[in-house]
Amino acid sequence: MIFATRDEVKRAIQSHAIAERRSVAFTKIEKRRLYARCKEPNCESKINAVKMKDDTAFQREVRGFRKEIMRELNVSVSKDQAYRAKRRALERISGDPVYQYSRFWDYVHELRKSNPGTTVVLGVETDDEESVFDRIYVCYGALKEGFSVGCRPIIGVDGCHLKGIYAGVLLTAVGIDPNNNLFSIAFAVVSRENGETWRWFLTLLKKDLRIGGDKQVTFMSDKQKGLIQAFDVVFP
């Protein structure tokens, strides 16, 4: 399992312990590692988490998985075998990437058919005459209309890195409805975050919301990478 922070690991372990009605002790909490064990009589359960190299996530060590297999099945498992098993498990969970991405056109068609007025833009790159997924932008028709007729003229934009095995960056635009609640407007998944992808996202958003002329809005952001330069181009 992968966790964003060390505190998230601790909360997950504590929640599991409560659900199982067991006491847990954290035997070591360091900057890069976390160790915990079961305190119940005759319980030898342990869990280790380590901050992965060149990554901000904490992940249960493959070594712990190997020990568990050896204990339960009484067989020896090499590190390479453990990594291959982990890779196959992730493939089973996430699906075959070639098949998944080949279904994008069906997804786009279904969105347009079932959500009138929805804007869906799918971007691909050509690799040896084969189309490879690069980006997708979605703005549902109902949300587009809802922002125009009921939301305040302020839009927050942000981007965050996706932690799945396919990576990428999620770009989002949200508004504020009359009850001061967040109101989703549009989102996009792109391969990287830079000035070009933000310009692409903001250009589509500007067209969908018909921003300009008499219709003015205020944008709020934390100055994501390339965002200020993109605003200078799309909203001079």
Are 93 and 34 in contact, with CB atoms under 8 Å apart? no
- What is the number of H-type helices and E-type strands within the chain? 8, 11
* Strand-pair category, 218-220 with 46-51: unpaired
- Give the Cα separation of 37 and 160 in Å (integer): 34
DSSP class of residue 212 equals B
List the chain pLDDT tens, one digit each, 236 residues. Answer: 777 788 888 888 988 888 888 899 999 888 888 999 999 888 888 988 888 765 555 555 777 778 888 777 777 888 888 888 888 887 788 777 777 777 888 889 999 999 999 999 999 888 777 778 889 999 999 999 999 999 999 999 999 999 877 789 999 999 999 999 999 999 999 999 999 999 999 999 999 999 988 878 999 998 777 888 999 999 98
Residue 139: closest CA among 119, 117, 109: 119
